[in-house]
Each structure stands twice: as structure tokens, then as C-alpha cells.
Amino acid sequence: MAYYDSIRLEKGMYNSGRSLTEVLEELDPSENYKGSELEGLDAFQRQLKRYDIKVGGERSDSVQKFFETSDSAALFPEYVSRAVRRGIEGSDHLGDIVAAKTVINGMDYRSVVSAPADEEKSLRPVVEGTVLPQTNVRTSENLVKLIKRGRMLVATYEAIRFQRLDLFTVTLRQIGAHIAREQLKDAVNVIINGDGNNNSASVVSVTTANTLTYDDLIKLWAELSPYELNTILAPTDMMRKLLALTEMKDAQAGLNFQGTGEMITPLGAKLIHIPSMASGKIIGLDKNCALEMVQSGGILMDTDKLIDRQLERASISCIAGFAKIFTDASKVLQ
């Protein structure tokens, strides 16, 4: 059994297809620390404690603390990856629209497709001895399109060596936030235009062009049936029209918005502002069965450069794509 203060850290730990934390957890399981002062820390956090590296708070260390030894330098890419991931999660609305997330080790992936007809959506009574109705599930005709999103970290070690990690983390989190915004744009594009398998969202027309009424929302809700309208995505111009509806001025809705900043519709769906969406459209969807996110690995980095302090051009990226699960689980109101 390996303990946290005796593990030899090296570059090769990043070449296993897993994160450094996963590799360390295998060597030094967290369950071995139950009841000890280290309980609650994962394997990576125990290594930070081992080398007395404080990455947060007003007394956080400077970047150069990671490079005092060759072993501690091997922790730097994982620190960067975690900070970027926190930025993605902190600015991520994908969790509100993605029904399933699939992580693969490659670039080729076919999702499954199920497009039941209207009669297949209702579970009608079955007479004894007769065949049960079928739901056909098949692989999609085309591969899921995976897109690489990221940033190039351009900085000399000399420029950031004395920078406090707490502040440097803010920069890395912004990289993650940028990736999350771009991925959200990719997800919205797939919902509207499809994933290349002839499954673009059907359009529900508003009653009067260039206007939005409560009846239009009711129409969207009805057209989405039997799926549940639990999420609405809207660009800035449509957000203004939505918030101007008399029904949106309901006292309870107003209190919720003023108290928490979260907006709800009279239909109970979560309302999400997507500035990058094309104007004049609203997407209504059932977040439980509309979209699958496919990600190739985790956060990708130039680990050798980060460990060797060659930060002049170190890339940080993530490869992901989206596939529609049930085509009719999302509609576009315009």
C-alpha cells in the first residue's frame, strides 16, 4: 500500500488516459484515511498538503511553490486542470439542458436514436396473447461532431512565478468559463439544427409575427406534449418580451427573481438567458430526454510544458459534441 507522503510523482502519470487525481486515488485510496485528520481530502489534495502548497485564500502561495522540487512540479498541470474545470462548472448551463453525458477515449462516437410514432408514445392496453408495442432503438447514421474548444496560455514563468495562486486561479477559471460558453453555443446549435442525422427541431409559429404572447407559450407547451416543458432558452430580445408579459409579473415570480436572481415562467419551466442565440427564437425542451453531451477525455493540456515551466504557449482545451436523443423533445418557437 502506498501512502501520500511516499508516492513518487512523475510526468508519466499523465499518460494513462486518466486524470492525475484518478491515478493517485488508485495508489493512495481516500478510504484509507477515514477517521484521520486527512479525511475529506482526495489524493491530489493530500499531495498539496505534503508539499505545503496552498492554492486558495489570502495566504495562498505563489506559482513558484509548485516548482521547488521535480515531484511537486508534477502537480501543476492537475492544479491548472482543476481550476479550468471549476470555471466550466461555475459558468455552465449545460447541466440544465443535457440529459446524459458520455465520456469517450477517442474521436468517433455514434449515439442511439429512438423516434417513436404517436401511437408508440401511448401505452395502450394489450390483449392477452398479443404482441407488445415496440420501441425501436438504433445507432445514428452519422457520427457525433466533436469540436475542440480552448485557449492558449501565453505567459513566461518569470512573469507569473511570484503571482499568488489564488489570483492565478481566477485567470484559469475564466478560461474554463470561455470554454463553457462556447460549448453552450454548440449545444443550442444542435438543438435547433440537429446533429447531422436529419433531426432539426420542428418550429412552432407565434400567432402574430414579431410579438410574443402568453398564448404562444401555451402553444409551445402543448406542441411539446407528451414531453414536459421544463426548460426554456431565450436570447436577449426574447427575454425582454418574456419578462414584459403580464403573467411574468406575478408576485411569486417577481419575489423569486428579486430574491434569487433565478427566473421562472408561468408554466413552471426554468428560463435560461442565452445571449449567443439568434434573435426572434425561443427553445422549449424537456431537459430529461432531449440532448446527450459527448466528451473526449477531460481537460487537455500540454502537461510537459507546464511541468517544465515552458508556459510561453501551453494549450488548454476540451473536446466535446452533442447529439439529440428524442427529436421531438425540443421545439423552436418563432
Backbone conformation region of residue 297, classed left if phi is above 0, alpha if psi is from -120 to 50, else beta: left
**How many residues make up the chain in this entry?**
334
114 vs 137: CA distance, rounded Å = 5
- pLDDT at residue number 193: 95
Mean pLDDT by groups of 10 residues along the chain of 334 residues:
80 88 93 90 95 92 94 95 92 88 88 65 63 72 90 87 93 93 95 92 93 93 92 94 80 55 70 92 95 92 88 88 93 95
- pLDDT at residue number 122: 55
Give the alpha-carbon dihedral of 179, 260, 276, 302, to 10 degrees: 0
- pLDDT at residue number 133: 67
The residue among 172, 73, 150, 128 whose CA lies nearest residue 316 is 150
Residue 245: what residue type?
L
Q: What does pTM read for this prediction?
A: 0.84
- pLDDT at residue number 330: 95
314 vs 77: CA distance, rounded Å = 11
Distance between start and end Cα atoms, the chain: 62
- pLDDT at residue number 1: 43
Residue 283: what residue type?
I
Asked if 107 and 146 count as a contact pair (C-beta separation under 8 A), the reply is: yes
Q: Is 105 exposed, middle or buried (0-12, 13-18, 19+ CB in 10 A)?
A: exposed
